[in-house]
Amino acid sequence: MIKDLSGRVALITGAGRGIGRSIALALAEAGARTFLAARSSDQLERVAGEIRARGGEAEYLAADLSRADGVEAVFGALRQRQGSLDVLVNNAGLGLSGPLVEFPVESLDLLLAVNVKGLFLCCQQAMRLMAPARRGYIINISSVVGVKGYANQAAYAASKHAVMGITKSLAAEAQPHGIRVSAILPGGVDTSLMEALRPDLDKALLMKPDDIADAVRFLLSLSDSAAVDEIYIRRRSSAPF
């Protein structure tokens, strides 16, 4: 399943921990020159160190991707250091929960800025790099909440439904340029985000970040004639369909 990504440049957002870290390690293992972005410089430095210790290539920049200037800083550094982009994995995300009638508007603004605006802007910048080369892959990490709804998660569900809307529209826009766009919709994964959203879940029953990294590697292993719109991956102990 592992496709050789040697010489390819992969940008992973939210790469300092959890799912993003696992994806970064997996793509570096496949030979990609990884560029990591997240808010925490310390976390990014640790992940970059792990990649280099395994013989991979990694650069990073700490930035607030909920802000246009943060996104511009990351892509400006990417252009300067790498000059191209083959894979973008939009993984950066925030999880906040609470009853709709009590949910603070400030929290809603923050959630949408991180989960929707940041992803939108990263897609925009990636398209500008990929379209001239007529190749590339954009993978957006959504959630099962992108197609379902749960009590106390109206704001989070709104953000992930928006991710799905962006993904579907961009896939149609990108196809004529030779660029593929997919979404991965994970259920419960053992991360700090899931712990904040669903502290009631037994960690032993949750998926692992590596499961999502494997889904990313699967998408990148496909031939140029194949396209996958979305991968819905749930924890085995949850209800099917």
- Positions annotated as catalytic residues are 156
β-pair type (87-90, 136-141): parallel
Measured distance CA(5)–CA(34) in Å, rounded? 10
Largest Cα–Cα distance in the chain? 51
203 to 19, 149, 188, 195, 198: CA distances (angstroms):
15, 21, 9, 9, 10
Measured distance CA(108)–CA(186) in Å, rounded? 22
Measured distance CA(138)–CA(167) in Å, rounded? 9
Angle subtended at Cα 118 by Cα 5 and Cα 207, rounded to the nearest 5 degrees: 60
Q: List the structure tokens of 57.
A: 């290539």
Measured distance CA(211)–CA(222) in Å, rounded? 17
Q: What is the DSSP string of 146-192?
A: GT---TT-HHHHHHHHHHHHHHHHHHHHHGGGTEEEEEEEE--BSSH
